Structure 1
Amino acid sequence: MKLNQELVTTLKSQKEIRCFNYDRKKIKTATLAAPIWLHFGAGNIFRGFIATLQNQLLEDGKSDKGIIVVETYDTEIIDLAYKPYDDLNVSVTLKRDGSVNKEIIGSVIESVKSDKEGWQRLIHFFEEDSLQMVTFTITEKGYSVSSYETDFEREPEASESLMGQLTYLCYCRYKKGGKPIAVVSLDNCSQNGKKLQESVCKFAEEWIKRGKMDEAFKTYLQDPKRVSFPWSMIDKITPQPNKKVQEMLIKAGFEEMPIIKTSKNTWVAPFVNAEEIQYLVIEDSFPNGRPCLEDAGVIFTTREEVERTEKMKVCTCLNPLHTALAIFGCLLDYKTIDEAVGNPLLLQLIEKIGYEEGLPVVTSPAMVNPYHFIKEVIEIRLPNPFILDSPWRIIADTSLKMPIRFGETLKAYKRQGENKIEQLTYIPLVIAGWCRYLLGINDAGEAYEVGPDPRGAILQKALEGLYLGKNENISLKLAPILSDESLFGVNLYEVGLGTKVEHYFAELTADTNVIQKVLDKYLMQ
């Protein structure tokens, strides 16, 4: 059986694969006549999480509109994972107890690419009074302005960057009558709504300065009753498509379940495999209304509570633990995160980072208990053997993650004074481990390719000349890195940690097969 609209009727009588009961043709007609939700970013987190929320509302009869999804970066995703399957996908939830839920998701009504025809469709959708919100899962790099300053000299409609294109689309809405809209980042980055707002406003200011847009457009963007940029916190592990899940679906009777790598190195499939636990907390600021997503488990609250929840997760209770496992997981050549957590030393390491060094300075939100959150992460989520997430996926762009995942905690200790920051052991050990990882040699002495990172080449060059067993110039090589506040939020030498990291690095590079010995030495203190 091939995944398409015709299959839906057949599957409604089956128990193994859950399928929606709503009239998708009717939903599509209503959506295209008066769209309420556009989403940019057609990847796994959207299909495996965001789309499932609206699917639940449609199934429960609490909405009669679907989502229009847009892909601007890797448009092959639309050609390979959407169009051949009538924009349907199979959501596969993998639970730690071994049970699996398979569900066909039909909430995506149309998929759009950023070609000429697609952009005309987007302008049309943005000009519709009914449009309530535009959401994004485009990764933190997608909000960059500095890389696209040449766009300022172009005509807005010819912008090559997504942020420039978004600004132009908002301008089209403004020119059409200026109806309200919420522009919502759902990306896993700190203060995501602020980043999105700053990028859009920067483009608007530059184009207004050059006489390419009306001065009043800036006022429109800065009025939260007309254009809001809610902050959010999102959390759900959705790794790349897994071959074991593919085999499971083929065994269940599905045909044509290919796992394909696009020319931009994105892995896509007609299915998404993901963990069972998920969180989405959003600032409740929607000037043109919104779907009742709280009925699907989304938490709507104040900006302050979103920020507390986001900081709790990103700076203390999940992301730092993930990064620590990724760093040492790569060095010890683990293929999956659950294998890494199975190492008692790495399990102890993340426990100590979370409970002992993170919790004392955590910003505690009202709706989520940080201790229970860490416990759930360590005991249920990360050890899940069915997720098969890779350290190599998580290690990407670590230079962008360090100042948030560890830097915020370091700054919190610095504010406390009393030399408490100097007493830290495990966060400095992870920083030393990351520098060790950048050498491109695992614990067994085998070379590997360092994962993608915007500063990776520069950092690797700074460490040239350091080898396992040859580390006489450690201080000279590490000093420019460890003193860089843009990497760690603080100058590690000024807060009393630089020399400690150098010492750990020296031990981690003393020879092959020493990493577990070093971890054991400090974890057993």
Structure 2
Amino acid sequence: MTTPALSLPAYDRSALTPGIVHIGLGNFHRAHQAVYLDDLFALGEGHDWAIIGAGVRPADGRMREALMAQDCLSTVVELDPAGKSARRIGAMIDFLPVEPGNAALIAAMSKPEIRIVSLTVTEGGYFMDSVGRLDAGAAEIRADAANPGAPETAFGAILAALKARRDAGIIPFTVMSCDNLPGNGDVTRDVVVGLARLFDPGFADWVNANVAFPNGMVDRITPATGERERAMAAAFGLDDPVPVTCEPFRQWVLEDRFPAGRPALEKVGVIFTEHVHAYETMKIRILNGGHAIIAYPGGLMDIDLVHEAMEEPLITAFLDKVEREEIIPIVPPVPDTDLQAYYAIIRERFANPEVADTVRRLCLDGSNRQPKFIVPSIRDNRAAGRLPKGLILASALWCRYCAGVTDSGAVIAPNDPNWDELTARAQAAKADPAAWLAMRDVYGDLGEDAEVAGAFAAALEAVWARGARAVLTEYIGG
């Protein structure tokens, strides 16, 4: 049997020098930012922008051990239904020790050649409270505020390095979030400045005035790594314990705010624009909202994989109807983008069988995702004088899912940081639907809208009485 072809870095890695420290070497970073840089280096450009990897969690230490053993090369397998391809990404040249106090990380970020510090620390890693402010009561934040010279969080380490650079007269680096957060640059600024304010208000003012935090929109589906993914790497002749698999599609949209300089990423497909929020709204409403629309009926129908959900005609019809009637019409215009064509691409991505993304993953953390991905579309429809019954049904299906059993009676394992609270509330909502809408951190004052409350109650009662399949059939039939 012939081993499939493997693409190797098309440049001399020994000639690379660092310009970026990246914190959080998970699958998404290695299939996204690192790939864009690998493409740029292959053009013979930007060789002074190589990545130094870093992390602040125990899992980062395990990732360091795996990657250092293979010269910091990452395997990226693209899951194209027409045929898989693999490449070794060489954009990272070192991985700092992961240690208490983060001395090595702070020292690296303090060096003048580091002009960007980027992060993928997950949506939940920003220590934000339910209304989007820094949670000053979080144990890690309190600890860093009390001991800023030996911080345990990425944000504390960033502040320690910025202070060292200020004291040495070195221009600040740009802090670039690559996490899937609305306004990720603004969120990062709020967290970094908010933490600084807890221990040195004057320094916080300096950071706020002198450090750039560009907003960006990132997109690529990267499933978790398991035995299936390791077997894919092995098919290309690689014994890699941490390969990354991903869909062929990728997108990166950035504000061009990099006072210390940046690589010429526009040459490899990154869009630099002042309209990041327009792209972000498009993605959040159409893609992330679409995920929620297919996830909860799929979960209630005992469907395991996303492409299998897309093979269920009721789910795809539900998705199409809600997207075309209630989501796309209220998405603001996006430069050089046809929203219907964008949705067609999203639909293809959801249906890709090679990705093998799970319905359970899409159902995860609804208490954090619903107020970002579904509720804003409900609000915008209401502002336009419309009652979006499909979006309200999608939220009712989330409530029903959180009750903890599928329509067949199978137990749903905990799937939200607030699962116990959600389950109790969902079970109470079976008799009193208003109990669910009373979650103001999710719905705000929507529960006080009589038409929304009535539509939600009717949808939830129907799902309990007849099941997701029957309710989708009724909705699609009008």
TM-score, L = length of structure 1: 0.84
For 1:346 and 1:277, how far apart are their aligned partners in 2? 23
Alignment partner of 2:194 out of 191, 194, 202: 202
2:6 aligns with 17
User: Are 1:521 and 2:474 an aligned pair?
Assistant: yes
1:40 deviates by 1.1
1:51 aligns with 34
Alignment partner of 1:391 out of 359, 365, 388: 359
1:369 deviates by 2.3
1:502 aligns with 457
Aligned-pair identity in percent equals 26
2:176 aligns with 184
Alignment partner of 2:254 out of 267, 282, 291: 282
1:414 deviates by 3.0
2:108 aligns with 125
2:92 aligns with 108
For 2:85 and 2:371, how far apart are their aligned partners in 1? 37
Equivalent position SS for 2:180: coil
For 2:92 and 2:475, how far apart are their aligned partners in 1? 50
User: Are 1:231 and 2:195 an aligned pair?
Assistant: no
For 2:154 and 2:260, how far apart are their aligned partners in 1? 23
2:63 aligns with 78
State the Cα deviation string for residues 59-118 of structure 1 (Å, max 9, x = none): 11112131111122322442453122221111111113x2111111111111124305x8
For 1:395 and 1:42, how far apart are their aligned partners in 2? 24
For 1:324 and 1:81, how far apart are their aligned partners in 2? 37
Q: Is the deviation greater in 488-497 or in 36-45? A: 488-497
State the Cα deviation string for residues 43-71 of structure 1 (Å, max 9, x = none): 00011111111111111111213111112
Paired letter, 2:295: A
1:250 deviates by 2.2
Equivalent position SS for 2:72: coil
1:163 deviates by 2.3
Alignment partner of 1:221 out of 207, 231, 243: 207
**RMSD across aligned positions (CA):** 2.0
Paired letter, 1:497: V
Equivalent position SS for 2:237: coil
For 1:346 and 1:364, how far apart are their aligned partners in 2? 27
1:489 deviates by 4.6
For 2:234 and 2:174, how far apart are their aligned partners in 1? 40
2:309 aligns with 340
User: Are 1:296 and 2:268 an aligned pair?
Assistant: yes
Paired letter, 1:127: S
User: Are 1:61 and 2:16 an aligned pair?
Assistant: no
Equivalent position SS for 2:244: strand
For 1:76 and 1:39, how far apart are their aligned partners in 2? 14
2:130 aligns with none
Q: Is the deviation greater in 230-239 or in 148-157? A: 148-157
Q: 1:242 to 1:462 in 2, by over 3 A?
A: same
**How is 1:377-388 mapped onto 2 (pairs within 5 angstroms)?**
377-378=346-347, 380-388=348-356
Alignment partner of 2:287 out of 318, 328, 349: 318
Moved over 6 A (4+): none
Q: 1:195 to 1:356 in 2, by over 3 A?
A: same
Equivalent position SS for 2:96: strand
Q: State how many pairs are aligned.
A: 465
Paired letter, 1:460: T
Paired letter, 2:439: D
Equivalent position SS for 1:228: coil
1:448 deviates by 2.1
Equivalent position SS for 1:509: helix
1:348 deviates by 1.0
For 1:367 and 1:157, how far apart are their aligned partners in 2? 47
For 1:289 and 1:246, how far apart are their aligned partners in 2? 37
For 2:418 and 2:428, how far apart are their aligned partners in 1? 18
User: Are 1:458 and 2:421 an aligned pair?
Assistant: yes
State the Cα deviation string for residues 230-264 of structure 1 (Å, max 9, x = none): 0000011011125444333323333x344xxxxxx
Paired letter, 1:125: A
For 2:113 and 2:440, how far apart are their aligned partners in 1? 45
Given that 2:75 and 2:240 are in contact with CA atoms closer than 8 Å, whether structure 1 keeps it comes out as no
2:131 aligns with none
Given that 2:75 and 2:89 are in contact with CA atoms closer than 8 Å, whether structure 1 keeps it comes out as yes
For 1:64 and 1:411, how far apart are their aligned partners in 2? 47
Q: Is the deviation greater in 426-435 or in 67-76? A: 67-76
Q: Is the deviation greater in 65-74 or in 354-363? A: 65-74
1:5 aligns with none
Equivalent position SS for 1:157: coil
User: Are 1:170 and 2:170 an aligned pair?
Assistant: no
Structure 2 unaligned regions, length at least 5: 128-133
Paired letter, 1:236: R
Equivalent position SS for 1:85: coil
1:412 deviates by 1.5
